[in-house]
Amino acid sequence: MKMQIKTHQRSKQSGPSKVTQHGTNRRGGGLPNARPHFEPAESREDQEVGVIKAYAAQSAISPVGPFAIRRREVGVRDVQIEILYCGVCHSDLHMARNEWHQTVYPCVPGHEIVGRVVAVGRDVKQFKAGELAAVGCMVDSCRTCPSCRAGLEQYCERGPVLTYNSGDTHLGGVTYGGYSKAIVVDEAFALRVSEKLNLAAVAPLLCAGITTYSPLRQWKVGPGQKVGIVGLGGLGHMAVKFARSFGAHVVLFTTSPGKEADAMRLGAHEVVVSTNPPDMNKHLNSFDFILDAVSANHDINSYLSLLKVDGTLTLVGLPEKPLGVAAFNLVGQRRRFAGSNIGGIAETQEMLDYCADHGIVSDVELIKIEQVNEAYEKMLKGQVKYRFVIDMASL
Ligand code: NAP
Ligand code: ZN
Ligand code: ZN
């Protein structure tokens, strides 16, 4: 299909594309560990790599379809990555359909990105052409505020630059995500990936992985604790794996009776079908910690009442509409209702290293890019097992 270049970014023409349709950059080479023959861009005035293929939503009601975007020229601290796999997060669906009422169109979703480095800037220290690299939900932040200095870039006081739908500080317009052939990112926001793991199954760690690892670490989940995970989707199945790996007693809550066997295989000690009140009541006042990864509206009070005194329920799911919390449910047992957003860059690297050491990856279903709209529909029906990952060779 011939792609029309419609972009909100500066319309400067950069001549023939330096990125081929296969995402390789001749100047960057492609041999493992080969130092690229690369002349870095000195100024931000000349930063366009060229036009590459992508998939975008053009409106809240249009399917995600072919689109062309520009990537900036590789700057002195930048890494250019040929994207090999990109996970499909429920946030992609929320954003593509403007369910959070903030989407700028065209919107190129995708923030579970893994691929191979094809070019690096002169001052890049941590990556060489030919190595694996990954990009998660953020591509920059202010780097100076207290949160950034504490390694909590996701809570940057000026707001992190998200991988898609954030203001693009280099080209103008908004950032474009991983449903595309390549990405250029400052090395400070690129992650190192082990060659030991199945690369397609690593992709979801960049969002589903870190979003569940971070709160489980923050609330010190470990041996001797009873921990609940609500919803067995992309985030939920990673939460089950991590909570089990950290040594907790893991109870999975699901609305889908058909997922019981999978939940046990993934690491749950017990599975509760949450639509069955007697089964829920057996667990009243018994949990140290519950992680809620549900994408749609649901009764949060039925989970708060399962916490024991001083127990914490942390929300990572981001339903479109507010959740109603019954005050008595919190006050009565000095319970805590908290939230958590992805994880910082250092913690994301820690999580990837932990996964490499412990052989943890996501359970994935590989799809072609043209199946992404179908994947969204299956996600809405709770039919993903347990993360769709796009094979970017199909773009
Ligand atoms: P997902 O794969 O679609 O999983 C969501 C799961 O929620 C479903 O598999 C289903 O599990 C359960 N569910 C769906 N509808 C439900 C309903 N009406 N009532 C009760 N349970 C329902 O989604 P995901 O990619 O894991 O994302 C989950 C949520 O986290 C999304 O809202 C996403 O935007 C958000 N998110 C947040 C962050 C963060 O940083 N906080 C990061 C990434 C994603 P069962 O079939 O087992 O019931
Ligand atoms: Zn995500
Ligand atoms: Zn900051």
User: How does pLDDT run across 72-97, given as a tens digit for each residue?
Assistant: 999 999 999 999 999 999 999 999 99
- Name the DSSP class of 180: B
Q: Is the CB of 229 under 6 A from ligand 1?
A: no
Per-residue model confidence as pLDDT tens digits over 279-338 = 999 999 999 999 999 999 999 999 999 999 999 999 999 999 999 999 999 999 999 999
Q: Is the CB of 97 under 6 A from ligand 1?
A: no
> What are the start-end ranges of the H helices in 116-259?
146-149, 199-202, 208-218, 234-245
Q: Is the peptide bond before 176 cis (omega within 30 degrees of 0)?
A: no
Residue nearest to atom 27 of ligand 1 (CA): 90
- Name the DSSP class of 41: B
Nearest in space to 95 (alpha carbons), one of 152, 166, 160, 184 = 166
Q: Is the CB of 200 under 6 A from ligand 1?
A: no
Q: What is the C-alpha to C-alpha distance for residues 204 and 202, in angstroms, rounded to an integer?
A: 6
Q: What is the C-alpha to C-alpha distance for residues 207 and 221, in angstroms, rounded to an integer?
A: 19
pLDDT at 23 exceeding the cut of 90: no
Nearest in space to 308 (alpha carbons), one of 331, 285, 291 = 285
Q: Are 27 and 37 in contact (CB under 8 A)?
A: yes
Per-residue model confidence as pLDDT tens digits over 63-74 = 999 999 999 999
Residue 184 bridge partners (DSSP): 80
pLDDT at 226 exceeding the cut of 50: yes
Q: Are 263 and 271 in contact (CB under 8 A)?
A: yes
Q: What is the C-alpha to C-alpha distance for residues 235 and 354, in angstroms, rounded to an integer?
A: 17
- Name the DSSP class of 392: G
pLDDT in the model for residue 49? 61
Instruction: State in Å: Cα 259 to ligand 1 middle.
Output: 14
Q: Is the CB of 109 under 6 A from ligand 1?
A: no
Mean pLDDT, range 109-124, rounded to an integer: 98
Q: Which residues have a Cβ under 8 Å from the Cβ of 210 and sit 6 or more positions away?
A: 136, 342, 343, 347, 348, 351
Compute the half-sphere exposure of residue 6: CA atoms within 13 Å on the CB side of its CA: 13
**Which ligand is nearest to the Cα of residue 211, counting in written order?**
1
Can you give the residue ranges of every domain in the chain? 26-207+343-394, 208-339
Residue nearest to atom 13 of ligand 1 (CA): 294
pLDDT in the model for residue 275? 96
pLDDT at 39 exceeding the cut of 70: no
Q: What is the C-alpha to C-alpha distance for residues 250 and 239, in angstroms, rounded to an integer?
A: 10
Q: Which CATH number fits domain 26-207+343-394: 1.10.472.50, 3.90.180.10, 3.40.50.300, 1.10.4030.10?
A: 3.90.180.10
pTM for this model (two decimals): 0.89
**Of residues 41 and 265, which shows the higher confidence score?**
265
Per-residue model confidence as pLDDT tens digits over 96-109 = 999 999 999 999 99
Instruction: State in Å: Cα 379 to ligand 1 middle.
Output: 9
pLDDT at 114 exceeding the cut of 80: yes
Q: Is the CB of 231 under 6 A from ligand 1?
A: yes
**Of residues 286 and 33, which shows the higher confidence score?**
286
Q: Is the CB of 132 under 6 A from ligand 1?
A: no
The residue with tokens 């500066």 is 10
Mean pLDDT, range 361-378, rounded to an integer: 98
Supply the mean pLDDT for the chain.
89
pLDDT in the model for residue 48? 55
Q: Is the CB of 315 under 6 A from ligand 1?
A: no
Cβ neighbours of 48 (radius 10 Å) = 22
Q: Is the CB of 259 under 6 A from ligand 1?
A: yes
Q: Are 369 and 179 in contact (CB under 8 A)?
A: yes
**Considering Cα of 145, then 148, then 149, then 152, what sign does the dihedral take?**
positive
Q: Which CATH number fits domain 208-339: 2.160.10.10, 3.40.50.300, 1.10.357.140, 3.40.50.720?
A: 3.40.50.720
Residue nearest to atom 39 of ligand 1 (CA): 341
Dihedral over alpha carbons 146, 149, 151, 153 (to 10 degrees): 60
3-class SS at 65? strand
Nearest in space to 392 (alpha carbons), one of 94, 88, 18, 140 = 88
The residue with tokens 């908290």 is 338
pLDDT in the model for residue 308? 98
Q: What is the C-alpha to C-alpha distance for residues 55 and 181, in angstroms, rounded to an integer?
A: 10
**Which ligand is nearest to the Cα of residue 146, counting in written order?**
3
Nearest in space to 74 (alpha carbons), one of 115, 46, 53 = 46
Q: Please give the structure tokens belonging to residue 328.
A: 């008595």
pLDDT band at 50 (very low <50, low <70, confident <90, very high): confident
**Which ligand is nearest to the Cα of residue 233, counting in written order?**
1
Q: What is the C-alpha to C-alpha distance for residues 26 and 47, in angstroms, rounded to an integer?
A: 17
Q: What is the C-alpha to C-alpha distance for residues 49 and 70, in angstroms, rounded to an integer?
A: 7
Residue nearest to atom 1 of ligand 1 (CA): 233
pLDDT in the model for residue 158? 96
Residue nearest to atom 23 of ligand 1 (CA): 90
**Which ligand is nearest to the Cα of residue 147, counting in written order?**
3
* Candidate of 251, 276, 295 to mutate for ligand 1, largest count of ligand atoms within 8 Å of Cβ: 295
Per-residue model confidence as pLDDT tens digits over 141-193 = 999 999 999 999 999 999 999 999 999 999 999 999 999 999 999 999 999 99
